[in-house]
Homo-oligomer: A and B are copies of this chain.
Amino acid sequence: MADIRSLRDAVAELVHDGDTVAMEGFTHLIPFAAAHEIIRQGITDLTLVRMTPDVIYDQLIGMGVARRLVFSWGGNPGVGSLHRFRDAVENGWPRPLELDEHSHAGMANRYVAGASRLPFAVLRGYRGSDLPERSSTIATVTCPFTGEELAAVAAVNPDVTVIHAQRADRRGNVQLWGLVGVQKEAALAADRVLVTVEEIVDELEPRPDAVVLPSWTVHAVAHVPNGAHPSYAAGYTVRDNDFYQAWDPISRDRETFLAWIREHVLEAP
């Protein structure tokens, strides 16, 4: 049953050095505030999992929080490169970053297997690509009925999944809507689930296209309005496209990046 608590307490309790952590939100509802709390608490040696690492992981990687990244597309959407990600991979700064790299279809199915508590998932994917050569989590299976060879991807089961949602009720039932991405799967695949929300309400009114995570699948809920910024929460905030553009020059330079983090993360609440 979900406890409602401060973001600081929730992160301290649920996220530990060395954990495999998925912070999901497919271009919407990205849990930036929780990532900043991880930076502030100095948690490190994480294996970070996310289909689209995005600016959120550029920040974590730039601060040396991660030793490994599991992903399928690492760019600043609509803008360009993730410079901290590239600097870590190409130059090992501030530390080397191991990669486990997939296609989106493969990553989505890894979460599906994780949520289903199956050891793998099957897809028609990766055919002819060099990707399987570089990953130990891509293999093949043969259909026992047709003989067709298909791709198999290993389940992802994070120690912790962190997501941002529009609302929770006081019992900790969580509701999100709009682009719901892979959040349900990422949450159900994890051992522990932390959700930051825009609002805590008495009762969750049903909404079109909403996903509900019952309280008994969530470990902590933290009330963090605008906790997805510069991403957004449909119905509450809008995507700060200017921030994504501004991130490009901020993140190109190590010192500029560190100064930004000092000012906006370490010295912020």
Contacts and interface: CB of A to CB of B under 8 A. Distances in A.
A146 to B, nearest CB: 4
Contact of A145 (B123, B152, B210): B152
Given A141-B141, A143-B152, 7 more contacts: A119-B146, A120-B144, A141-B142, A145-B152, A207-B208, A208-B208, A209-B210
Interface of A: 116-124, 137, 139-146, 148, 150, 152, 154, 206-210
Nearest to A212: B209
A140 to B, nearest CB: 7
28 contacts: A118-B122, A118-B123, A118-B124, A118-B150, A119-B143, A119-B145, A119-B146, A119-B148, A120-B122, A120-B143, A120-B144, A120-B145, A120-B146, A122-B122, A139-B144, A139-B145, A140-B144, A141-B141, A141-B142, A144-B152, A145-B152, A145-B154, A206-B208, A206-B209, A207-B208, A208-B208, A208-B210, A209-B210
A121 B122 contact: yes
Contacts of A209: 206, 210
Contact of A144 (B117, B141, B143, B207): B141
Nearest to A113: B122
A145 B141 contact: no
Contacts of A139: 144-145
Contacts of A137: 145
Nearest to A153: B145
Nearest to A144: B139
A104 to B, nearest CB: 15
A59 B88 CA distance: 66
A121 B140 CA distance: 14
A209 to B, nearest CB: 7
A142 B208 CA distance: 39
A120 B154 CA distance: 17
A207 B118 CA distance: 32
A57 B170 CA distance: 45
A210 to B, nearest CB: 6
Contacts of A206: 208-209
